[in-house]
Structure 1
Amino acid sequence: MTSADRFISGLLVQCRGAGPLRRVRTGMALLRAVWHNYRLGSEAARNLPVDGFKPELTAHNQRGQLLRHLRLHAGLTLLGPPGRLASWAADALDQHQADSGRLESHTEVRDNQAGRRCGEILGSHLRGVLSPDEARTLLAGVLCEDPAAPRPGA
């Protein structure tokens, strides 16, 4: 099982349960994970394993910081319009840094886009539009180097 597979499984575990506030609770849980990840420090987060993720999501020394961006933008997307607005504002900062020549920021922008797409997939899963297996397959397509590989839990 790759780090990407474990990440996807963790996202789907966050979606367990029922009730009208599940989307908000899941979004907030992802944002709490971002906060705990920031407390690790930049280098410790950078050194988290990222095997199995698409190389373009970890390029330019981004590596484990990918996980921060994915959780942040997925969580914000799940919070609805105010969260999406915050996601786009954070993305604008990364885009500005990329435009000024910071190579890692090009990767951060791709990570932000992938995180928003993950949030959309999780939202569809939480609304009952996607089964866990369908959500896992779509998440793998967004995140995994080899999305056709058999996914644990699928």
Structure 2
Amino acid sequence: METIKVETFLQAAKNYCNLIESLGSLGEIEKFKQLHVAVTELYTKGLYLPEAEPGKDDSFDIDFQLPQVDFGTHNVYWGVYDPYHSDEDLEEMMEEPLNETLTDDILDIYSDIKRGLILYEQGDHAEAVWEWKYNFEIHWGTHAASAIRALHSVNYLASF
């Protein structure tokens, strides 16, 4: 069962990275629709990634180039910091919405997912799953959740 969950996530990861790498070839409306589907699918599949142990040596470097993305007038949106964070130092920040960008969300997700894909393609499946799961919990999952909300707004509430 764990293998099926990883394979399902792997396919969503490949689809996401392929989409980001070819985003410039899509029309404006199609780009945002496909992004909405791809990020939602990736997030959903990420929820079911199995637990994995990190490798023995995490000092390796994986180098790749980030694709260029352009979201035009739909790039910057208002977000909320961590709605459940109770640190008094952040209390003031929590009350104010923050400027966030789809570019940051989409490329941060891409970076974390691509790193795992490269590990997986190199045959280090356990390390790849650990990278995806760990970074889902601490990094790209939050970016995905924010992007899903922004993309919903672009696709259903904003006019092109």
Asked whether the two chains share a fold, i.e. TM above 0.5, the reply is no
Range of TM-score over shorter length:
0.3 to 0.5
Q: Which has the larger radius of gyration?
A: 2
Higher helix share: 1
TM-score scaled by structure 2? Answer: 0.35
Q: Report 1 or 2 for greater relative contact order, CA contacts < 8 Å, sequence distance ≥ 6.
A: 2
